[in-house]
Amino acid sequence: MAEQKATNITWHGGTVTPENRQALLNQIGCCVWMTGLSASGKSTIGVIVEQLLLEKHKTAFRLDGDNMRMGLNKNLGFTAEDRTENIRRVGEVSKLFVDAQVITVSSFISPYKKDRDAVRALLGDKFIECYVHVSIEEAEKRDPKGLYKKARAAVAAGKGMGFTGVDDPYEAPEKPELTIYTEKVTKEEAAHQIVAFLESKGFLKA
């Protein structure tokens, strides 16, 4: 993992407490970490969750894999090392949003268990691992961006592209807080399941 490089640094704490922020927003910050194969529906479900929370007057924010790769993580590719750094960074950003008491919906393939576990360690009981389940067969059938087709072609040509589920592993969560079976429920139902979970755990009020 990333080693601490800078020395001569001092934590600068504030006077505004987590409780102050929770009372202001009438909610408790947490991170719904959506993990799953490409085309599982992570981002789309995340968008609906954010909308449902707005309708409940809750402050939510989405961090999305592809979007982050156009900004904060634009200097990262898809090697195992870069994937780990990608998840490390978005884990740290998720923590900042959770510290701000925002309900953070983080949608990342995040295929490696050790990377997700590092985020869990960072966020503690504010980390809600949500496994957006789809079989590889169904994901390849959906293939909305044609990426599986591209990956299979690359493998057939003997090149490979390190695509999760094709020529890079997806390590499924063993004990996720939530599993969404996207071949059994609609995206709207999935989003409602997530919001209901947040409600049941007390995150939607201070």
Catalytic residues, by residue number, are 110
According to CB under 8 A, which one of 35, 40, 43, 84 is a site residue for its own copies? 43
According to CB under 8 A, which one of 45, 95, 178, 198 is a site residue for its own copies? 95
Which residues are bridge partners to 128 per DSSP? Answer: 32
According to CB under 8 A, which one of 22, 34, 37, 100 is a site residue for its own copies? 100
| Amino acid letter, 148 | Y
Segment 48 to 77, residues that bind its own copies, using CB under 8 A: 48, 50-51, 54, 57, 59-67, 69-77
Whole-angstrom Cα distance, residue 199 to residue 98? Answer: 16
Closest C-alpha among 96, 95, 98, 104 to residue 22? 98
10 binds its own copies (CB under 8 A): yes
Phi, psi dihedrals of residue 190, rounded to the nearest 5°:
-60, -45
CA-CA-CA-CA dihedral for 107, 111, 117, 120, to nearest 10: 0
Q: Which is nearer to its own copies, 58 or 116 (CB)?
A: 58
196 binds its own copies (CB under 8 A): no
Whole-angstrom Cα distance, residue 104 to residue 30? Answer: 6
Residues 6+ apart with CB under 8 A from 127: 30, 31, 33, 119, 120, 177
Q: Give the range of 47-55, 124-132, 178-186, 195-203 binding its own copies by CB under 8 A.
A: 47-55
Q: Which is nearer to its own copies, 29 or 173 (CB)?
A: 29
Binding residues with its own copies: total (CB under 8 A) = 60
Rg (CA), the chain: 18
154 binds its own copies (CB under 8 A): no
Could you list the residues that contact its own copies (CB under 8 A)?
A: 2-6, 8-16, 20-21, 24-25, 43-44, 47-48, 50-51, 54, 57, 59-67, 69-78, 82, 85, 89, 92-93, 95-97, 99-100, 102, 107, 145, 147, 150
